[in-house]
């Protein structure tokens, strides 16, 4: 069964994400009643080291205490991992791959996510917001799984940089997209002041917003980029970031590669160097349905691994742990204006 509280535990607003485990369990839902009954759903800390959601919610609630304009449901994700400041604990799956999707999953986390989804579908939410951070340098952007106008309007309240994606499977915003406008927001690196500020402004805006059929803003600024593939490093290839090698590895990834995020890269842009010309291609690039399209996008030039097409990368990370757990980056097609 899922735990649903009708108020926040006392003094919880005074603690950082690392202390939340003392107040709530993983997957706790908190309902806070507001003037407009139809709730806004907010998901935080699905990844335990991404604290911006909690940092922004604390301020939002303090500023609106006892006079919330709209009811909220807040879902606390992985507070156990947050205690250790980790994305997830060793024995845990990635929470944001366990939501109801195309592939049925049977682990305990997936069962919870499925119950939460069913419960929330019955609450008829106004919108759903899932708050994340990146480990690399990225602009703050919003991700949507549908190009319906309410989704684009919701995303544009957060940022003019919007990406559309349909994989990976099992993400929260994908599951909720079936019954309400849903967005994943990526608020830069965890804990940075500008990310918290932008998230707070967005949530403030949303709890006052009466409709998503039209929203204020400049339509001509809205550009939606389309994610079409994922770049992973093969598990048997040893890797390091240039300048941070502690022992010889197969593939050294360029330092500051994350500066390329959201920029159109020319053909021949170097991502890193192999230890030897005979070492195999270190990447596997897959499209949205899992086909291997590596040869179309990357090639070896001597020891260098270079792009073969013009592409826009997103979410390039310089964290070896994140590369191993998730991926090196995503590739996107240039923007379409909406």
Backbone torsion region of residue 290, taken as left when φ is above 0, otherwise alpha when ψ lies between -120 and 50, otherwise beta: left
Q: CB of 221: closest distance to Zn ion in angstroms?
A: 26
- Identify the bridge partners of residue 31 per DSSP, sorted by sequence position: 73
- Is residue 140 involved in binding Zn ion (CB under 5 A)? no
Decide whether 156 or 190 has the Cβ nearer to Zn ion: 190
- Is residue 97 involved in binding Zn ion (CB under 5 A)? no
Decide whether 150 or 186 has the Cβ nearer to Zn ion: 186
Q: Which positions from 35 through 54 interact with Zn ion, judged by CB under 5 A?
A: 47, 50
Which residue is listed with tokens 């919330």?
68
Decide whether 50 or 258 has the Cβ nearer to Zn ion: 50
Number of residues that bind Zn ion (CB under 5 A): 3
Q: Which positions from 48 through 87 interact with Zn ion, judged by CB under 5 A?
A: 50
Decide whether 77 or 100 has the Cβ nearer to Zn ion: 77
> Residues 6 or more apart from 173 whose CB is under 8 A from it?
128, 130, 143, 144, 145, 182, 183, 184
Identify which of 79, 206, 101 has the alpha carbon closest to the alpha carbon of residue 154.
Answer: 206
Decide whether 52 or 64 has the Cβ nearer to Zn ion: 52
Q: Which positions from 176 through 215 interact with Zn ion, judged by CB under 5 A?
A: none
Decide whether 132 or 140 has the Cβ nearer to Zn ion: 132
Stretch that binds Zn ion, among 72-80, 129-137, 157-165, 302-310 (CB under 5 A): 129-137
Alpha helix (H) residue ranges in 209-251: none
Report which residue's Cβ sits closest to Zn ion.
Answer: 132
- Is residue 132 involved in binding Zn ion (CB under 5 A)? yes
Identify which of 195, 170, 187, 193 has the alpha carbon closest to the alpha carbon of residue 131.
Answer: 187
**Contact call for residues 156 and 217 (beta carbons, < 8 A):** yes
Stretch that binds Zn ion, among 15-23, 131-139, 272-280, 317-325 (CB under 5 A): 131-139
Count CB atoms within 10 A of the CB of residue 337: 9
Whole-angstrom Cα distance, residue 287 to residue 330?
A: 10
Q: CB of 195: closest distance to Zn ion in angstroms?
A: 13
Count CB atoms within 10 A of the CB of residue 84: 15
Q: Which residues bind Zn ion (CB under 5 A)?
A: 47, 50, 132
């Amino acid at each position: 069964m899922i735990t649903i509280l009708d108020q926040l535990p006392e003094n919880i607003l005074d603690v950082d994400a690392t202390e939340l485990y003392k107040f709530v369990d993983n997957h706790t839902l908190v309902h806070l009643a507001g003037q407009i009954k139809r709730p806004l759903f907010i998901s935080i800390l699905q990844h335990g080291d991404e604290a911006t959601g909690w940092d922004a919610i604390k301020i939002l609630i303090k500023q609106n205490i006892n006079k919330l304009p709209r009811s909220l449901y807040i879902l606390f994700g992985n507070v156990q991992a947050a205690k250790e400041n980790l994305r997830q604990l060793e024995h845990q799956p990635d929470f944001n791959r366990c939501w109801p999707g195309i592939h049925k999953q049977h682990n305990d986390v997936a069962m919870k996510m499925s119950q939460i989804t069913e419960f929330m579908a019955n609450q008829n939410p106004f919108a759903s917001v899932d708050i994340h951070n990146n480990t690399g340098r990225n602009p703050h952007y919003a991700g949507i799984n549908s190009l319906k106008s309410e989704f684009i309007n919701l995303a544009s309240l957060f940022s003019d940089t919007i990406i559309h994606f349909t994989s990976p499977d099992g993400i929260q915003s994908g599951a909720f997209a079936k019954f309400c406008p849903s967005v994943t927001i990526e608020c830069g690196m965890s804990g940075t002041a500008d990310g918290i500020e932008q998230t707070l402004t967005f949530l403030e805006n949303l709890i006052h917003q009466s409709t998503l059929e039209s929203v204020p803003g400049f339509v001509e600024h809205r550009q939606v980029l389309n994610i079409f593939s994922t770049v992973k490093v093969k598990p048997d290839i040893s890797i390091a970031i240039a300048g941070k090698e502690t022992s010889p590895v197969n593939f050294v990834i360029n330092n500051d590669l994350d500066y390329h995020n959201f920029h159109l890269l020319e053909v021949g842009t170097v991502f890193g160097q192999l230890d030897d010309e005979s070492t195999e291609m270190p990447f596997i690039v897959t499209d949205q349905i899992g086909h291997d399209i590596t040869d179309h996008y990357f090639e070896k030039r001597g020891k260098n691994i270079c792009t073969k097409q013009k592409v826009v990368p997103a979410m390039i990370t310089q964290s070896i742990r994140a590369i191993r757990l998730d991926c090196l980056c995503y590739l996107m097609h240039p923007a379409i204006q909406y």
